[in-house]
Amino acid sequence: MRSIPTEGYSGAAFASPQQRSKTVLVNGGAGFLGSHLCERLLELGHQVICLDNFYTGRHVNIEHLLQNARFRLLEHDVRQPYDVEASVIFNFASPASPPDYQRDPVGTLLTNVLGAVNTLDAARRSGATVVQSSTSEVYGDPHENPQRETYFGNVNPIGPRGCYDEGKRSAETLFFDYHRKYAVDIKVGRIFNTYGPRMRLDDGRVVSNFIVQALSNADITIYGDGRQTRSFCYVDDLVGGFLRFAEAGEDCVGPINLGNPTEITVRDLAEIVLDLTNSRSRIIYLPAVADDPQQRRPDISRAREELNWWPTTELKTGLKRTISYFDALLARKEVVEAV
């Protein structure tokens, strides 16, 4: 079993700046959300271990953190057992974009199931609090809108999204069984579509696709009729919600929806992106993808009540920041390709 040496755990309260630092493990820390989380944890004074196998994560996301003496990178696959002495573990290791998880469906399911088992075992041995990044996909193509945590969902277990959806659902089951059976201190957060800087140019999700297409004056690709809805949360808000959750009391286990309840159609999102980028792109309609959820909006009453958390970044504000990020990235790419 892989053993991860650590130092500096104090047992102090989590995200409170006046407290001493904790050792925090972030699985999937080189990915989009994980790298933002690592950054915030370092800013709060904690020791951070970033564990990643770089399936979709990138060194460039964490390069700037490597100079920090409180940051360590560990290349490891959560499908393999490991041991760690951390006081908190965030389990964010899993591909998240449909093209990414559908490229290796078996690997995705196993990352979620074995990754949960190995992480819960590590937490059980070390006494760590373990925070799971679950997803709105556990609700599948929902018959209830907005989705409350009490809704059991409508997932097709044998469809092309099943590897991810059922992997995440099984992981939730494992989390709650380890909690009931072995008293592991768990927290399960269900993330709704989150966007922001450090999404990959080619990760295939709607926000990155539309922005990159618009900035390149390429066709904006809407799958289906564009009337399906999503509710987009800016990354900083989401990370703030997870930090609140991690420092909540032991009784606060979730599941808790974390997302922005402002719901819009995919077609409206395309229009907003076109407008904010002054793009000459035209919108084209491609065939709908299989089992695409038609509506998605979080009910965040539980997050408000139990964590005193809600997102504050308006969609247009978050999109402008994300557009600036992709604009700079595309400019650098052009320079690199030109030399």
Residues that bind ligand UDP (CB under 6 A): 97-98, 193, 205-206, 209, 221-223, 228, 230, 266, 289, 292
Measured distance between the N- and C-terminal CA atoms of the chain, rounded to whole angstroms: 45
The only residue of 54, 152, 182, 285 in contact with ligand NAD, by rule CB under 6 A: 54
Residue 166 binding result from ligand NAD, ligand UDP, none, given CB thresholds of 5 to 8 Å by partner type? none
| Nearest-angstrom CA–CA distance, 250 and 248 | 7
| Nearest-angstrom CA–CA distance, 162 and 171 | 13
Pull the structure tokens for residue 199. Answer: 């999404």
Residue 167 binding result from ligand NAD, ligand UDP, none, given CB thresholds of 5 to 8 Å by partner type? none
Residue 35 or residue 229: which is nearer to ligand UDP going by CB?
229
Q: Is 281 in the site for ligand NAD (CB under 6 A)?
A: no
| Listed residue (221, 201, 195, 206) closest to 337, CA to CA | 201
**Taking contact as CB under 6 A, which single stretch among the options 3-11, 77-85, 266-274, 292-300 is the one that binds ligand NAD?**
77-85
Q: Is 131 in the site for ligand NAD (CB under 6 A)?
A: no
The only residue of 92, 175, 242, 309 in contact with ligand NAD, by rule CB under 6 A: 92
Residue type, 194: T
Q: Is 119 in the site for ligand NAD (CB under 6 A)?
A: no
Residues 194-233 vs ligand NAD: string with x where CB under 6 A?
Answer: x---------------------------------------
Residue 92 or residue 309: which is nearer to ligand NAD going by CB?
92
Long-range contacts of 249-255 (CB under 8 A, 24+ apart): 250/185, 252/187, 252/306, 252/307, 253/176, 253/179, 253/186, 253/187, 253/188, 254/149, 254/186, 254/187, 254/188, 254/189, 254/190, 255/134, 255/138, 255/149, 255/172, 255/188, 255/189, 255/190
- Least distance in Å: CB of 221 to ligand UDP? 4
Q: What is the length of the chain?
A: 339
The only residue of 4, 41, 93, 130 in contact with ligand NAD, by rule CB under 6 A: 93
Residue 164 appears among annotated catalytic residues: yes
**In sequence order, what are the residues at sequence separation of 6 or more whose Cβ sits closer than 8 angstroms to the Cβ of residue 320?**
276
Spot the catalytic one: 101, 139, 164, 178: 164
Residue 133 binding result from ligand UDP, ligand NAD, none, given CB thresholds of 5 to 8 Å by partner type? ligand NAD
- Least distance in Å: CB of 259 to ligand NAD? 8
**Taking contact as CB under 6 A, which single stretch among the options 28-36, 123-131, 210-218, 322-330 is the one that binds ligand NAD?**
28-36
Q: Give the DSSP per-residue string, 195-242.
A: E-TT--TTS--HHHHHHHHHHTTPPEEEETTS--EEE-EEHHHHHHHH
Residue 77 binding result from ligand UDP, ligand NAD, none, given CB thresholds of 5 to 8 Å by partner type? ligand NAD
Instruction: Give me Rg for the CA atoms of the chain.
Output: 19
Cβ atoms 89, 123 nearer than 8 A: yes
| Nearest-angstrom CA–CA distance, 32 and 69 | 22
Chain contacts with ligand NAD (rule: CB under 6 A): 28, 30-34, 52-57, 77-79, 92-96, 100, 111, 115, 133, 135, 191, 193-194
Which residues are annotated as catalytic? 164
